[in-house]
Amino acid sequence: MSATLLRTSAVRSALRSSPRASFGAATFVRGKATLPDLKYDYGALEPAISGKIMELHHSKHHQTYVTSYNNALEQVEAAQAKEDIATQISLKPLINFHGGGHINHTLFWENLAPKNQGGGEPPSGALSKAIDEQFGGLDSLKQKFNAALAGIQGSGWAWLVQDTQTGNIGIKTYANQDPVVGQFRPILGIDAWEHAYYLQYQNRKAEYFGAVWDVVNWKAAESRFK
């Protein structure tokens, strides 16, 4: 575990003990986003996802989103102080992209788990019931989810989402780092950017989409489902 404790602070260690309630708060300390620690080692998701991928993905890619988000936020704050509306608007794509990257990856790490922490164990309770009713079972959901992942044209994510209006669940894809906000609530996300699998799977992305279910943390998904 020590390998993953890159930037442990008392604040984050304390927040880690109540991860469910703390998603928003845990990653924004005094207005600044910080890289969250993983709850498992980089190598813990092997063979589905290699340790090398996890290390780069968390310590480099996610870190870059955090850093760039903080930079963009600083510029927004400066523009706000000057009541410079044009600059505030021009910064919106950066907030969406880097803030989205931070949110998406934070949720992603949480909805993955090694086998010995419940990774791959099928969902239970209300979410399981909703999956059965709306998809005809978990296998059918996985099939449709994988088809959605494979159909992404470029970089992006596929999410199991809950419609906050109807309560129904569904599969949606999002381009680049567009986050799941607004009408839909994120339940389970899979990163379909090439950096998420390329070192291990190269162009064989269907193999990654097949294997990732072995490390999906359905308990985390259940806790997001309302």
Partner 1 sequence: MAATTYTLPKLPYAYNALEPAISAQIMELHHSKHHQTYVTNLNNAAKSLATAQANNDIPTQIQLQPALRFHGGGHINHSLFWQNLAPPSSLDTKINAAPKLSEAIKATFGSEKAFKDKFNAALLGIQGSGWGWLVRFDNENGRIGIVTTKDQDPVVGAGEVPLFGVDMWEHAYYLQYLNGKAAYVENIWSVISWKTAEQRYLGKSADVFASLKASM
Annotated binding site: 57, 105, 191, 195
Number of Cβ within 10 Å of residue 36's Cβ equals: 23
Partner that binds at residue 153, options Fe ion, partner 1, none, CB closer than 5 to 8 Å by kind? partner 1
Q: From 12, 44, 45, select the one nearest 30 (Cα to Cα).
A: 12
145-164 binders of partner 1 (CB under 8 A): 153-156
Q: Which of 201/225 has CB closer to partner 1?
A: 201
Q: From 200, 193, 209, select the one nearest 142 (Cα to Cα).
A: 209
Distance (Å, whole) CA 138 – CA 130: 10
For 49, the 3-state DSSP assignment is: coil
Distance (Å, whole) CA 21 – CA 24: 8
Q: Does residue 174 interact with Fe ion by CB under 5 A?
A: no
- Inter-CA distances, 82 with 87, 96, 124, 168, Å: 10, 22, 52, 44
Q: Does residue 88 interact with partner 1 by CB under 8 A?
A: no
Q: Which of these segments, 84-92, 129-137, 159-167, 194-202, binds partner 1 (CB under 8 A)? A: 194-202
Q: Which of these segments, 6-14, 56-64, 102-110, 162-170, binds partner 1 (CB under 8 A)? A: 56-64
Among 176, 214, 222, 223, binds partner 1 (CB under 8 A): 176
Q: Does residue 64 interact with partner 1 by CB under 8 A?
A: yes
Task: Write down the least CB distance from residue 205 to partner 1, Å.
Answer: 10
Distance (Å, whole) CA 202 – CA 194: 8
**Residues contacting 190, CB < 8 A, separation 6+:** 108, 145, 149, 157, 158, 159, 209, 212
Q: Does residue 37 interact with Fe ion by CB under 5 A?
A: no
Q: Does residue 65 interact with Fe ion by CB under 5 A?
A: no
The answer to whether 14 and 46 have CB atoms below 8 angstroms apart is no
Partner that binds at residue 191, options partner 1, Fe ion, none, CB closer than 5 to 8 Å by kind? Fe ion
Task: Write down the least CB distance from residue 118 to partner 1, Å.
Answer: 30
Q: Which residues bind partner 1 (CB under 8 A)?
A: 56, 60-61, 64, 93, 97, 153-156, 175-177, 193-195, 198-199, 202-203
Q: Which residues bind Fe ion (CB under 5 A)?
A: 191, 193, 196
